[in-house]
Amino acid sequence: MATQRLGLAKTTSLTYDQAIAKVTEELKKEGFGVLTEIDVKETLKKKLNVDFRPYKILGACNPMLAHQALQKEVELGMFLPCNVIVYRADDGRAVVSAVDPKIALGRLDRPQLESIAEEVAARLTRVIAAV
């Protein structure tokens, strides 16, 4: 697993469809549900009539942690849900990436959110590692 500028990422040996199923399963183990699922390939085809690789954005939310964070900063909803992406790389393997909430929230200068950001990051790190 690598930490990239924008988040946490891992290239897997799984197919794209296997990776979607595995990510969803691992998110559930960490208390996250998938609230939204955006099929980028389908959307780009429909809206622009362009072909794109299989690519989904999963909007994952851990209700308990989201509630805690929203109690500390009501406008934090702009950062929710946590996006996890799965796409097929050029070599056919699936890549899984997740937002790193420590990076995303670190720019807000809200010390009251640091422990929650660290908890979410730890859970998402475990998800990515398990895929």
- Separation CA 23–CA 20 (nearest Å): 5
Tokens representing residue 13 in the block = 């040996």
pLDDT of 57: 98
Higher pLDDT, 23 or 3: 23
Whole-model pTM over 0.85: yes
For residue 1, the model assigns a pLDDT of 54
pLDDT digits (tens, 9 = 90+) for 34-51: 999 999 999 999 999 999
pLDDT beyond 80 at 15: yes
Give tens-digit pLDDT for 93-110: 999 999 888 888 777 778
Q: How far apart are the first and last CA of the chain?
A: 10
Domains and CATH numbers, the chain: 2-130 (3.30.310.70)
pLDDT of residue 104: 80
DSSP for 35-80 reads EEEEEHHHHHHHHH------EEEEEEE-HHHHHHHHHH-GGGGGG-
